Structure 1
């Protein structure tokens, strides 16, 4: 803005360049000369600025030109006595979008000066998500159980579940670094904290019926298996497993509707079978209302469907073992033919699974034979499976086949043809060899993913040769490398007792407890304690 004019002369006088008295509406000179008095010319004269050279400073100033205010908001308004009003207004202009930097711009590639810190919940979620994609399959937390994948979105909604996951993650971190979890003081502190949180959740009338609490109990059982739990001589895995099974039974079959709840239900089958077998009772999951639970949304392949069918039929196993023990303890109260018929019926229930296993062994794609990488004299030829789930189906089928064939041979009428006994004996030997040939494949899932081999190896222990028993015992020690005192728990005497326990052989029962409801559970614990003490003395 240049050329400020200070005079208020009319336009006519300014054009004639004469003095004007600035009278209104017609000035004196225009009235005297009878001329039209034009309007006063503005005192401000706008001219174009001089052309300036383009400099970085001028370009910067041109870029900083403000946009016009397009948004006006009245914040408050007040009226005065004379009819006026005062308004508080807010003027705003649209925000200018930041300029997109090219990919090669150094400003874009420079790191943040300070990264935001993660909360405890975000850290747990990130650790779990990273563990699912770990390069080594044996160090993936998802290899423990399928329900682990559904845990990250649930973190932060249950204190019991958060503390249990925190305990499991710390145990997992120690395992990845090659440190024994049982010797870490932080792990002991986290485990104690998880137990206290679980006790408070179980005391709450609402939280105790939550699937998050059920997940916390199950997770602490895994912590015990991998050596991150109690530091005494006997792990508390069976206590946590029994607690999880009891919660499933209390919740009832109508509770398991969500995907996470059904995954916990499927996982609880194995726990319920182990607990019912130890306690000498029938498995409640074998009742019709529990068998009607549909898991179709969890089945995405034929292998998953066969695995579900195997789990459903395995729930009938504790009932058969209970009858065998009762018959051997009181032969006059139980007809052996009844047990033989039940064993044969359960064997026919496994027929579809047997056909699936035979087809997988025969097609040359799902299972192939390879020479042993360790030059093992026991298994010079090993099995390489397409998936870990397929390997778990095969070895568990062979393990239960050994138990069923052993029971059938025990209760077969003495006057049966010798070929029947020979056929059962050959099937037992063949199944035992299949389990041995499947072990080397499981080593790629160490240390977290080899637990599926423990039960089949124990089932194959009964009736094996001394050389096979020693081989199986050392393989079980490798599987339980993280479990405290695993060489005592799976020692030669304890394995002999446990393998006989699976087929219903007589066990040592303390006097005065035979009539108690938990007599077999007391006998199991007493024998395990006695065998552990015997191994320590040796």
Structure 2
């Protein structure tokens, strides 16, 4: 009722229609009935005054396609009106009307709109007495409702999901750890169906990995089968086969297999090898593009590992590729370090191929004798046996480096009992030629080891700390600067073990002294690899993928206690990737280690089949 003052009591008293004593903060009635008093009512009432969309809403597509803006910008629409137009107090602003338009010398257009109700009829009535001649022109001006933001497309949602995956999860679960190329993928979505299918698969795999799904569930069968099917069709098309998007899809599917972890039916080598074949097929001229070159640099490790398993020379060592693949221009210190290690690692598959040819010949190659060193026979680092990586102190603040020049100034194979290597018969003896190439690779690795040891010594690459208070048989552990540095050091130590094993297979079995030094060095290298476990565990799972190579090779040259610990570590990492049926065993490690060093039959890589 007009003129009657509003009640100032609390809401409970007003609802019960009883008098409120307004004894704030708790009135008498609420205190008596043990109620939570809401307090006095607000002195002001706020009502929404924004525009409301009615049934006359026009979709955005209809507005633009219907020619609603066809007259905007024409000379007839440049109308200047008084800016003092007001709306009725009870009016609801549901329309926008263009008032004027101004053009600048630089080509820009400034348009002024006013929100009005009833299509601007009230405004027209107020202006009719002052400018009747303009009423017809004003009524013909374009009018529009407030527009809603269009729903994002499937490609936009996919790009947003991939971008979110860059920062989702722990640091070891972020997809940004895969390298620079992954950051350029979102902007390419929407132009290639094969790339979109691969992105859907890897986004789902990353989400499943974070949720701790089963290893068999990380690679969704439906999404993965669809991606493989579309990829197969793209590979059959000559134009799409050489597209960077097709190459990127192949790389992304290999990452999906890496997320799923080692298991029966894993197709990581199939996709990594397929990406290598695509890169080799399109040639270096088509890899000059920034995105294609990033894909090439990222896939170097997969190409090399595939060549090692297949015992075939790596095409990256050819003159056409070597200059571009291992170019260090513009790289930071970590990038140059990683490139140097991969450059020497790419030379190893060709040496395995020569060893395979020796096996195929009638000339018998001495087999690698079973090697087991009891714990008491391993000299401590810094005692009688020199360590090519130096003696590390136990101080948590750092460590000191001592270099024994005997392991750098003298070649390994100067023992006169090594009859395959001495004398002028090197050029005519295939075994001697292979030993000479292996010695050259070993000397190059020794020079690279100087730089790596210096970086550990000055703390630029990482630091060593004591393992006191940590449940581990390894007395010290490394903390590397970043994941790429950790991968570079583990690949370097792994390559040295592979080189030593191949040397022991090729050289004369009578050279016991050289064999003893090589085995002892492999034991020291295995200890260095074991020191990197704590760093890998903190970067799990993506930052610990390299452990499947390095720890498998180190297993053979450790004591039984450390071997049990290595098995426990590798299986615990698999559980972090996702519980699955595969578990590391001593037999599985021995089989994989032998394959990496050219033992057994050739590895046959089965490519995934496309599902219809």
TM-score (norm 1): 0.69
Matched-pair contact (CA < 8 Å) for 1:121–1:155 = yes
- Residue 201 (1) aligns with residue 295 (2): no
- Residue 250 (1) aligns with residue 281 (2): yes
Shift of 1:304: 0.5
User: Secondary structure of 2:541's partner?
Assistant: coil
Alignment partner, residue 470 of structure 1: 564
1:266 to 297, 307, 321: 297
- Whole-angstrom CA distance in 2 between matches of 1:472 and 1:314: 24
Alignment partner, residue 478 of structure 2: 383
- Residue 434 (1) aligns with residue 531 (2): no
- Whole-angstrom CA distance in 2 between matches of 1:299 and 1:453: 29
1:521 to 583, 603, 606: 603
Alignment partner, residue 182 of structure 1: 216
The structure having more radius of gyration, on CA atoms, is 1
Assess, with a 3 A threshold, how the Cα gap between structure 1 residues 115 and 446 changes in structure 2: closer, same or farther: farther
Q: Which runs of 5+ in 1 are unaligned?
A: 1-70, 76-89, 100-111, 510-519, 526-538
Q: Which runs of 5+ in 2 are unaligned?
A: 1-72, 78-97, 103-110, 116-145, 365-428, 607-612
Alignment partner, residue 318 of structure 1: 349
Matched-pair contact (CA < 8 Å) for 2:213–2:579 = no
Alignment partner, residue 104 of structure 1: none
Matched-pair contact (CA < 8 Å) for 2:100–2:113 = no
Q: How does 1:113-512 map to 2 (within 5 A)?
A: 117-134=151-168, 136-180=170-214, 182-183=216-217, 187-227=220-260, 233-293=264-324, 296=327, 299-330=330-361, 332=363, 335-372=430-467, 375-413=470-508, 418=513, 420-481=514-575, 482=577, 487-488=582-583, 490-505=584-599, 507=600, 509=601
Which gives a bigger RCO, structure 1 or 2 (Cα 8 Å, sep 6+)? 2
Assess, with a 3 A threshold, how the Cα gap between structure 1 residues 219 and 413 changes in structure 2: closer, same or farther: same
Matched-pair contact (CA < 8 Å) for 1:187–1:228 = no
Q: Which has the larger share of helix? A: 1
User: Secondary structure of 1:226's partner?
Assistant: helix
Matched-pair contact (CA < 8 Å) for 2:231–2:246 = yes
Q: Deviations over 1:389-435 (max 9, x none)?
A: 111111110111111122223434456583x4443233211111010
User: Secondary structure of 1:319's partner?
Assistant: helix
- Whole-angstrom CA distance in 2 between matches of 1:228 and 1:455: 13
Assess, with a 3 A threshold, how the Cα gap between structure 1 residues 416 and 433 changes in structure 2: closer, same or farther: same
RMSD across aligned positions (CA): 3.2
Matched-pair contact (CA < 8 Å) for 2:272–2:306 = yes
Assess, with a 3 A threshold, how the Cα gap between structure 1 residues 351 and 262 changes in structure 2: closer, same or farther: farther
Shift of 1:484: 7.7
Assess, with a 3 A threshold, how the Cα gap between structure 1 residues 389 and 341 changes in structure 2: closer, same or farther: same
Shift of 1:180: 2.6
Shift of 1:258: 1.4
The structure 1 segments of at least 4 consecutive aligned residues displaced by more than 6 Å after TM superposition are 112-115
- Whole-angstrom CA distance in 2 between matches of 1:98 and 1:74: 18
Aligned pair count?
Answer: 411
User: Secondary structure of 1:369's partner?
Assistant: strand
